[in-house]
């Protein structure tokens, strides 16, 4: 039976976490002079900003929990999901000896965080449909492999990873399986959060940066067993989610009835581009997408990247990524932006 305690680094098990003023006193009082704040007030418009924020974001988690179908103690909030990636690696991977596994091409931060923590990153190539090749797993999983990162829908390819392969990994791998669902709101498939009770080694990551339109606030989520969440809370910086972010995210959640409409509009625009890009002569292939971007193979990615830039359109050139030769990654824009993109591409005379 998986027990997170068995893979948490020994120094973290033994470590005493930082105890903040807000950890040590949580009750009501008339004079707060315990945190060296400025009791005269704040130079910002919101006078509450002179106080440190709730280190565990209770109000926010209570609002997120019913939306995601989990309990508040199954939620970790990070300064972007990038913070959760880094903390998960630090939690279980010993620098200089442990490893993580990813499937390429995929999101670049797993590699960066592994490097930063002196952890080896092993990569298995996805197949030509950007799916997991199960027969390649065995040779790449070692006793010191602590985390497998799966990105679904995958960045930069846009597709969902096959559920059977994910289940197979969850059932057979002894370490943590992290499913990064940054783009899940644009997919037709339910989140893996619905399977948390079945898999004690599962961590699902989502973010407010994509469908919610809050990339600037830096708010990412990790969902897992309360035991895993407790360890993430133990090692996180004390006030990792600032007060402005907590307040603005609550404001956004209070308007969550608008989320579906926005996602539907982005999906409609995706359908528009999926239907119209293949008619453009320089476009060779548009890969299927369950995200808010498209991976598009063109005749010459480097030239077309420069050409688009000279027309004021910046896309992501992914041609050097494994399996993505001559591919550009295009985020879904507004209706006007998408029409302009098609017009500019059609005018390319290379």
Ligand X SMILES: Cc1ncc(COP(=O)(O)O)c(C=O)c1O
Q: Which residues in this chain contact ligand X in the complex, by CB under 6 A?
A: 80-82, 107, 151, 155, 180, 182, 207, 209, 215, 220
Shortest distance (Å) from residue 85 CB to ligand X = 7
Residue identified by tokens 């791998």 is 173
C-beta closer to ligand X: residue 213 or 238? 213
* Dist CA 130 CA 168 (whole Å): 17
Q: How far apart are CA 41 and CA 145, in angstroms?
A: 49
Question: Could you tell me which of 74, 79, 118, 78 has the C-alpha nearest to residue 96?
Answer: 118
Nearest to 74 by CA among 213, 247, 192, 240: 192
Of all residues in the shown chain, the one whose CB is closest to ligand X is 80
Measured CA to CA, the distance from residue 216 to residue 200 in angstroms comes to: 32
* Cα–Cα distance, 54 to 238 (Å, whole number): 9
Separation in Å, CA 304 to CA 161, 257, 272, 295, 299: 29, 39, 21, 14, 8
Select from 335, 331, 326 the least CA-distant residue to 305: 326
CB of 135 to ligand X, least distance (A): 25
Contact 127, 157 (CB under 8 A): no
Least spacing, CB of residue 151 vs ligand X, in Å: 5
Q: Check: CB of residue 316 under 8 Å from CB of residue 295.
A: no
Minimum separation from the CB atom of position 186 to ligand X (A):
12
CB of 153 to ligand X, least distance (A): 8
CA nearest to 178, candidates 254, 101, 123: 101
Distances (CA, A) of 174 to 6, 93, 141, 145, 169: 10, 14, 10, 9, 9
> If you count DSSP H runs as helices and E runs as strands, how many of each does the chain have, helices first?
12, 11
Task: From 303, 304, 294, select the one nearest 330 (Cα to Cα).
Answer: 294
């Amino acid at each position: 039976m998986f027990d997170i305690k068995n893979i948490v680094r020994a120094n973290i098990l033994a470590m005493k976490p930082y105890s903040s003023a807000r950890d040590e006193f949580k009750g009501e009082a008339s004079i707060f002079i315990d945190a060296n704040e400025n009791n005269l007030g704040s130079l910002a418009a919101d006078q509450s900003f002179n106080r440190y924020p709730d280190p565990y974001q209770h109000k926010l988690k209570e609002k997120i929990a019913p939306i995601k179908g989990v309990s508040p103690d199954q939620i970790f909030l990070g300064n972007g999901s990038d913070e959760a990636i880094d903390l998960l690696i630090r939690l279980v991977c010993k620098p200089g000896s442990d490893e993580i596994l990813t499937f390429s091409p995929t999101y670049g931060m797993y590699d960066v965080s592994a490097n930063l923590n002196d952890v080896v990153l092993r990569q298995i190539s996805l197949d030509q449909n950007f799916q997991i090749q199960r027969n390649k797993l065995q040779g790449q999983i070692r006793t010191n492999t602590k985390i497998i990162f799966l990105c679904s829908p995958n960045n930069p390819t846009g597709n969902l990873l096959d559920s059977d392969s994910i289940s197979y990994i969850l059932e057979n791998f002894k370490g943590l399986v992290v499913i990064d669902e940054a783009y899940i709101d644009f997919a037709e498939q339910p989140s893996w959060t619905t399977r948390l009770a079945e898999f004690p080694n599962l961590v699902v990551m989502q973010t407010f940066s994509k469908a919610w339109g809050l990339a600037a606030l830096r708010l990412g989520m990790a969902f897992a067993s309360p035991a895993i969440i407790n360890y993430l809370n133990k090692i996180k910086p004390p006030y990792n989610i600032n007060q402005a972010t907590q307040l603005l995210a609550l404001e956004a959640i209070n308007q969550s009835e608008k989320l579906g409409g926005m996602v539907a509009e982005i999906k409609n625009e995706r359908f528009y581009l999926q239907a119209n890009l293949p008619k453009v002569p320089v476009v060779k292939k548009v890969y299927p997408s369950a995200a808010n971007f498209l991976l598009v193979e063109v005749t010459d990615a480097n030239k077309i990247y420069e050409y688009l830039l000279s027309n004021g359109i910046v896309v992501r050139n992914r041609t050097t990524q494994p399996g993505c030769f001559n591919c550009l990654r295009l985020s879904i824009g507004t209706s006007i932006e998408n029409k302009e993109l098609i017009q500019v591409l059609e005018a390319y005379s290379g």
